[in-house]
Structure 1
Amino acid sequence: MHPTRQKRPTRAEVLRKGLEEDIFSGRLKPGDRLDEVSLAERFSVSRTPVREALHQLSASGLVEVRPRQGAVVAQITLRRLIEIFDVMAELEGMCARLAARRMTTEERTALHTAHAACADAVAAGHDVDAYYEANWRFHDLIYVGSHNTVLEETTAGLRLRATPYRRHQLNRPGRLADSLREHETVLQAILDGDGVRADSAMRDHVSIQGDLFADLLSTLPTDFVG
C-alpha cells in the first residue's frame, strides 16, 4: 500500500475553494449572484471549470440555482446546519461500527496508512490541504469498510453537504491536532474490532456540539446563517 499523496487540484477545485473562502469570509454574501463570465475572467479560466465549481458548490448547499437568476450564494438556516451534522454523526458512527466487524486486513492496513498521512500533515506544520485530503481518504475507507453499499452511498452523499463546514473547521487553531487524536481513537477501536467503541468515537468526532459548534458559528459571517 502506497502512502497517500496529494493530487494536483483541478481548475474547478481551485475555483471552488476560492469561492468557499469568499463565502465563509463574508466577501460573498447570501443572495449574491455568481456570474459565470465574471468568474471565468477573475480566475483566468474558461467557463467549463466555472460551471463544474458551481455544480460542486450547489451539491454542497453553499450555492443555489434560481430560475432566471442563475447561481447565487445560498443562506443556510441554523436548524438545517444542526440537522446535517446530527445525521452525519449517526451515519458515520454506523459505518465505523460495521467497519470494526467487517473490514478486511487490507482495508485496515489502508486505514492505518491514511491515518499516518494525516499525522504527517500535522507534523509538517499543520498543512490543512494535505490533512484534508488524507482525512477524506480516512473517512471514505470507513464508509467502504462497512461493506454496506446503501449505507456507504447515503453517507457519501450527505458528506457533500457537510464538507464545506468540516473543511472550514480545520482552519480553527488546534483543530488539526484535535481531529488527529479523535482519528486515533476511532482507528484503535476499529483495529480492536470493537464496534460499539468505534461507533461512539466516530459520533463524537463528527458531531458539532457545545463549544465546537459555538466555535464554528463564530467563524461564519453574521448574515451567513439565517
Structure 2
Amino acid sequence: MTSEPTVRKGTVVDAIVQTLADDIVSGRLVPGTKLDAQGMAERFGVSRTPIRETFGHLAAMGLVTHRPNRGVVVATLSPEALTDLYEAMAELEAALARLATLRMNREQRERLQQIHRDSVHLVRDGCTDAYARFNQTFHDLIFEAAQSPQLQDLAIATRTRLAPFRRAQFRLHNRMSRSWEEHEAIVQAVVAGDADGVARLMRLHVQTVSAMTAEFVAEHRPPGQASSASGA
C-alpha cells in the first residue's frame, strides 16, 4: 500500500490538495466517486476543517463538484475544457514572456539563467517532483519580470486550475528533458533580447504541455469513459 505524504503544520491543506488532485488526474479517483469528508479526515489524520478547505480548492480547479444530496464528487475530466484552458494559458504566458524580455533587469536575467542551468541536474537525476517545483519558479520569474500585474493575476488564476495537469506531464517518458530543452531555447532568446521570438517559443512550450497533458489523461482514463466526456 502506498503511504500518504507527511503533512507539516502550515502546509496541511496544500499537501492534501496536491495528493487528491494527483489521484483524480491519474485516474486513481474516478469520475463520480463521492469524497466523504470524515473518510478523508481519517485518511490524512486531520480534522474535517482542512478537508472542507481542500474541497473548496479542488472545486475551484474543476476537479470536484458539489451535488445536491450527494455531497462532493469527482468531476468528469473534459478534454475540451482542458484544451480551452491551455489555449488561454499559452496566450497569457506568451504575452508575459514578451514583456519580461523587454522589461527584466540584469539581476532577473542572470537569475533566470542560473536556475535554468541548475535544473539540468534534476533532469539527469529524474527528480520529477523537484523539477515540477523548479518549473513553477521558472515561470514565476518571467511573470514577475513582465511587470504587468493584471496579466500576471490572470495567468496565475489559469495556472492554478491547470496545476495538477502540469505536474502530471513530467511523469511521461523524456518529458523533463524535452521541457528543459524548451526552456533552453526560451532563455537564449531572452538573453538575445528577442521579445517576439520569446513569445513564439513560450506559446509553443505551453501548447506542448497541453499535448502532453492530453496524452497523460488519455493513458489514465478509466475504462469505458468516452474521450469526449464533458465536464460537470
In structure 2, the partner of 1:220 is 220
Decide whether aligned partners of structure 1 residues 95 and 167 sit closer, same or farther in structure 2, where only a CA change above 3 A counts.
Answer: same
Counterpart of 2:82 in structure 1: which amino acid?
L
* Alignment map for 1:64-213 (pairs within 5 Å): 64-123=65-124, 125-208=125-208, 212=212
Change (3 A) 1:198 1:78: same
The code of the aligned residue for 1:90 comes to E
Per-residue CA deviations over 1:155-194 (Å, capped at 9, x if unaligned) read 1111112211111111101101110111111111112111
Tell me the alpha carbon deviations over residues 184-216 of structure 1, each in whole angstroms, 9 at most, x when there is no partner.
111111121111110111111111489646523
Q: How does 1:24-63 map to 2 (within 5 A)?
A: 24-63=25-64
Whichever residue aligns with residue 25 of structure 2, its letter is: F
Q: Counterpart amino acid of 2:91? A: E
Structure 2 counterpart SS, 1:119: helix
C-alpha change, 1:13 and 1:205, in structure 2 (3 Å) is same
Which ranges in structure 2 are unaligned for 5 or more consecutive residues?
Answer: 1-7
Q: 1:220 to 1:59 in 2, by over 3 A?
A: same
CA distance in 2, matches of 1:72, 1:43: 18
Secondary structure in 1 aligned to 2:66?
Answer: strand
Q: TM-score, normalised by structure 1?
A: 0.87
Q: Secondary structure at the match of 2:171?
A: coil
SS of equivalent residue, structure 1 residue 51: helix
TM-score scaled by length of structure 2: 0.85
SS across alignment from 2:101 = helix
Deviations 1:65-89 (A, max 9, x none): 3344332211132221111111111
Q: Residue deviations 1:117-157, cap 9 Å, x none?
A: 4223113x211111111110110111111111111111111
- Paired amino acid for 2:191: L
Unaligned runs of 5+ in 1: 1-7
Residue 5 of structure 1 corresponds to which residue in structure 2?
none
- Correspondence for 1:4: none
What is the identity, as a one-letter code, of the residue corresponding to 1:143? F
CA distance in 1, matches of 2:173, 2:77: 24
The amino acid that maps onto 2:139 is: H
**Gap change, CA 1:211 and 1:142, over 3 Å in 2:** closer
Distance, in Å, in 1 between the alignment partners of 2:119 and 2:226 is 30
Contact 1:62–1:74 under 8 Å retained in 2? yes
TM-superposition CA deviations, 1:94-138 (whole Å, max 9, x none):
111111101111221222233234223113x21111111111011
Cα gap change, 1:145/1:209 in structure 2, threshold over 3 Å: closer, same or farther? Answer: closer
* SS in structure 2 at match of 1:65: strand
What is the rounded CA distance, in whole Å, between the counterparts of 2:27 and 2:226 in structure 1?
8
- In 2, distance between residues paired with 1:28 and 1:110? 39
The letter for the 2-side match of 1:206 is: V
State how far apart, in whole Å, the 2-side matches of 1:210 and 1:95 are.
Answer: 18
Amino acid of the structure 2 residue aligned with 1:63:
V
Distance 1:118 1:177, change over 3 A: same
Matched to 1:115, the amino acid is: H
Give % identity. Answer: 38
